[in-house]
Structure 1
């Protein structure tokens, strides 16, 4: 997921300082307004403002748009990237965050977006070269550091990526851990960060459009990864959906947002969100892996000399 070094533009240190100063000023302003004049905030603005989340979004978008000047992307890839960033922002930094803390099924939707939908859309866009191209040189050097490459190489191993993907979902769904995470602000932040980061890492491996030599994993292995995470998620969702007692007592303790929905109904609906949408997304991911494999085969296939039948004659490409 690193960019080609010969495409990197020279970025003015003055522009970097101005950009950083502007982002820090906006961060301070949003923090002051959210803490002392929260009623001024529109529904799409931060409900519980997090400087760390805001700066991570802001720097990523800044580097992405600056990188487009040297590593341009197709309009649809830009759209997928912005959509992925947008839906993650929506469930983490808008009033939806409050709702997700008071209904289990909304909390499951939040994690579904953070761990599946948002990272999935970002990985389809494959924006990594563009983002790195927009970074200041000192930050680029960090992305190329041997330790960073070792960590990324480790988490990109299929067995590690699948274990982390499924294991983190199971960890935060384990009722005793879930309860503590919801009442401990520090652990709650760790939970959310782990969902987003792990989701991006997993889908970046699975939806890598490059051939096996550059990607480090075969298309068959990537297809196997999408299938391998389906059954554990179905099992977790089924256990929750068919439970005959309230196993997530935090939401009764803090007060549900919709009093008309009882604990078991909330829990069963949440179990369905653990069960069905992730399985459907894995199947979509499998289709995308197969499409990437077809495109790579067409790219590397010997040119037809006209004596045989090429795939272009019946695929239209």
Structure 2
């Protein structure tokens, strides 16, 4: 399987390099080995771990049957906005750029975290990879970035950073900075949503309690709403890059493009936070129901 993945990637790399204009929409406009390799590695490890767990009769102990669907949809969402022709669209219309970031930072990581893939991925990872990822230094960094304060600041701070007009324009023009921006959004989204959607009840062992997670998803929602509103009501073209490169949809001018894009920042991020809050409220209700039933019976 790894050899087939590498061969398929090599073939796409050649096709994108030599005949980019003749490829269908579901093929990359610009092939990226890091993006392709990361997504394919995740899928391969997950499938490998699932097969091992199924052979051992342990599937029922890792979560609901819909977990693989959530994982596949999450990885697919990230892949779709980075390794299809949608990438080109996101580089030529601010509205599509905001959809891309919503998928990379919110929707994709949210679905992956909701699937609780940890046990499956651990069983699918080779021993050397598990040993490398289990080093104390790596876990120390992860504990720091998943501390509530840094996690909250990083989550909405990265959204703000790449929306600062000079920074945004520079990132769109510089291929290296563009890749750094996309990778940072995906990684930060995964770290944050794994913290929020951890299926363990929390309250001990460094795991956040459900009320603390509810506070966090509310705290990151408000700055995103403010940023989106500032863009939507800017009243002037604050992202001239899209006029310079040519907007993909001629009927959408700079004002309308920013209004739609700003609304996506407002309502898209808010929608994901609201959905997370509903899941957390459901877990609180589920955890409290047995105790309430026992008190009622007494």
Secondary structure of the equivalent of 2:235? coil
Matched, 1:309 2:297: yes
8 Å CA contact 1:210, 1:296 repeated in 2:
no
Of residues 156, 160, 177, the one that matches 1:170 is: 160
State yes or no: 1:278 paired with 2:278. no
Which residue of the partner structure matches residue 6 of structure 1?
none
Work out whether 1:229 is the aligned partner of 2:211. Answer: no
> Is 1:140 equivalent to 2:122 in the alignment?
no
The equivalent residue for 2:238 is 247
Deviation for aligned residue 1:154 = 0.6
Change in Cα spacing, 1:40 to 1:253, as seen in structure 2 (3 Å) is closer
Paired residue secondary structure (2:297): coil
Q: Name the CA distance, whole Å, in 2 between partners of 1:184 and 1:39.
A: 22
Q: Give matches, 1:1-317, under 5 Å.
A: 19-39=1-21, 41-68=23-50, 69-70=52-53, 72=59, 73=62, 74-212=64-202, 213-214=204-205, 216-297=207-288, 301=291, 304=294, 308-309=296-297
8 Å contact kept, 1:245–1:264: yes
Q: 1:276 to 1:303 in 2, by over 3 A?
A: closer
Q: Structure 2: how far apart are the matches of 1:99 and 1:255?
A: 11
Q: Post-superposition shift, 1:295?
A: 3.3
2:265 and 2:234 mapped to 1: Cα distance? 14
Distance 1:131 1:292 in 2: 24
1:39: how far off? 4.8
CA distance in 1, matches of 2:134, 2:288: 30
Distance of 2:242 and 2:289 partners within structure 1: 52
Provide structure 1 residue ranges, at least 5 long, that are not aligned to the other structure: 1-18, 311-317
- Give distance in 1, aligned partners of 2:286 and 2:199: 9
Q: Distance in 1 between matches of 2:205 and 2:114?
A: 17
Aligned-residue RMSD, C-alpha? 1.9
Instruction: Tell me the distance in 2 between the aligned counterparts of 1:268 and 1:128.
Output: 39
- Which stretches in structure 2 are left out of the alignment for 5+ residues? none
Task: Give me the whole-angstrom Cα distance separating, in 1, the residues matched to 2:147 and 2:257.
Answer: 36
**TM-score, reference length from structure 2:** 0.92
State the TM-score, normalized to the length of structure 1. 0.86
Q: Distance in 1 between matches of 2:123 and 2:285?
A: 28
Deviations along 1:232-260, one digit per CA (max 9) or x if unpaired, are 01110110000111000100111111112
Q: Secondary structure at the match of 2:66?
A: helix
Relative to structure 1, is the Cα distance of residues 303 and 261 closer, same or farther in structure 2, using a 3 angstrom cutoff?
A: closer
Cα deviation code 1:148-170 (max 9, x no counterpart)? 11111111101110000010000
Contact 1:83-1:118 within 8 A present in 2 as well: yes
CA–CA distance in 2 between the matches of 1:244 and 1:180? Answer: 22
**Displacement, 1:231?**
1.0
Partner of residue 16, structure 1: none
| Cα distance in 2, alignment partners of residues 271 and 260 from structure 1 | 18
> How many positions carry a matched residue from both structures?
289
Name the residue aligned to 1:313: none
